[in-house]
Amino acid sequence: MPYVSDSSIYFEGIANDPWSFYLDSGIQSGLDENISEKSRYDIIVSQPFIKIIADECNVSIEENNLKKITKDNPFDILEEILSSFDIQETSLPFTGGALGYFSYELGQSTIQNNKDHVGMPLMMIGIYDWALIVDHQDKKACIASHLINKDTKDYLTKL
């Protein structure tokens, strides 16, 4: 994949897809001469093959168009799912895995005690099979994938 300093170009084809994320390093093309490790990479993901959504009462786990509802601790569920994959070490900052958000309320002792104050789930985490990594220091771009999800290869043609 060719390097471009404005990686938002890669994101344009998937920006409107649900669960797409663009983690922008904040590098300003042509203005930043010394790129630190903290601003080195842009990361783009989309199409998680597992979705974990927690509200104040339940945790929903969606995989292969099937939905399971449980009252288990969402942190335990996430840990169990992530530990089921044998992921190899790499020098890349992210090669797929968990990405999403945790609300402040989720950090309270139990999910049953949390109240939805803003109409959003307490947690929304996607488990992603691939990531597009743009390295601004080495001026490289690559797609990293574990090819766990059977649809990954077809989806990547959108980039």
96 lies in some domain:
yes
DSSP annotation of 88: P
What is the model's pLDDT at position 157?
77
1 lies in some domain:
no
Count how many domains the chain has. 1
135 lies in some domain:
yes
pTM score of the predicted model:
0.85
Condensed to tens digits (0 to 9), the pLDDT of residues 37-68 reads 668 899 999 999 999 999 988 999 999 999 99
* 139 dihedral zone (left: phi>0; alpha: psi -120 to 50; beta): left
140 lies in some domain:
yes
Strand boundaries in 24-89, DSSP class E:
41-45, 50-54, 59-63, 66-70
Supply the range of the domain harboring residue 124. Answer: 8-158
88 lies in some domain:
yes
3 lies in some domain:
no
14 lies in some domain:
yes
